[in-house]
Structure 1
């Protein structure tokens, strides 16, 4: 019987996302990830290296997933608010990414692994803002890099600090979820609006 290498790697990555999102890179163990994946820990080391390498791999994969799931080409053609709403939806459905990013900020001092490579995931978003500014559909009163950072923050902060959202807003119901999304969309549009 042939060993399903790709299936095993997928199980390890899925288990690692769950464990790292819950406990961070310093708070989980390769043994716990392996147990959750239903494999021995030697498989984890063989396929992904040490725990830090696995964390970097998982985060890189999760960033690639969001880039693919929520693409943007140009805010000269696309509405900034609609984009922010789609990013909000992604984070609401997959809150692990926000948690992984917060853990990364806590665990790594200075430059993070694969930082230059990962900048590519953000460059196309920045280019979309620049294109919108060049075509007059997006304000130039906020620099493009700051504007895209603010839009992403508006969309993702709800899942990054759900406890603060819970304390400041109404209990989470379908209506409240829709209200939050509508606020994100409107706020992004106002931020990007040309005078």
Structure 2
């Protein structure tokens, strides 16, 4: 019974921290707010996760794992991958904000094992696809992955002043993301 309570507490902390970090970033997040929402005290939070940075690492690593489970990666159908990335972040905008905060606030930080692993796996898949000639060789694997991800998440980085001119329907925005097909020709 004790273990289940500990697991539930840890889960509540991670859920509360995900919301807090997505909304405010690492610097703006407050451990006291996370503990209050999770229904525990700060001492318990520190016992589970050490400090705020380690808590963010746990939150972001869990987010990366969820992303991988839901989105996957198929070098034989990169346009479908781009579409799934778009769909995932459309359904989970908080996860995209976490990713943006990670990049903004940790540009020179210690690499997270979860991020290193997913990047290495996708780059290896792309290189195998290039050797099989399923993926064009005019880009490096890193360049192609960056390009696909940038296109798939582009709608969330548009200046709000363009609002009136943006397609208001998800279907139209997703169709633009599928321009990845053109790049792969």
Give TM-score scaled by structure 1 length: 0.85
> Partners of 1:53 and 1:157 in 2: how far apart?
29
Deviation at 1:165, TM superposition (A): 6.6
Deviation at 1:114, TM superposition (A): 3.6
Aligned to 2:133: 136
Instruction: Quickly say closer, same or farther: Cα 1:84–1:145, change in 2 above 3 A.
Output: same
- Unmatched 5+ stretches in structure 1: none
**Any conservation in 2 of the 1:133–1:140 contact (CA below 8 Å)?**
yes
Deviation at 1:160, TM superposition (A): 4.8
RMSD: 2.0
Deviation at 1:128, TM superposition (A): 2.3
**Any conservation in 2 of the 1:56–1:114 contact (CA below 8 Å)?**
no
Instruction: Quickly say closer, same or farther: Cα 1:39–1:162, change in 2 above 3 A.
Output: farther
Aligned to 2:184: 192
Aligned to 1:81: 79
> Partners of 1:191 and 1:24 in 2: how far apart?
33
Moved over 3 A (4+): 113-117, 159-168
Aligned residues: 184
> Partners of 2:83 and 2:56 in 1: how far apart?
28
Deviation at 1:116, TM superposition (A): 5.1
TM-superposition CA deviations, 1:146-194 (whole Å, max 9, x none): 0011101111232355736735413x3xxx2001111111x2111122x
- Unmatched 5+ stretches in structure 2: none
> Partners of 1:116 and 1:13 in 2: how far apart?
18
Deviation at 1:89, TM superposition (A): 0.5
Return 85-94 or 116-125, whichever deviates more. Answer: 116-125
Give TM-score scaled by structure 2 length: 0.90
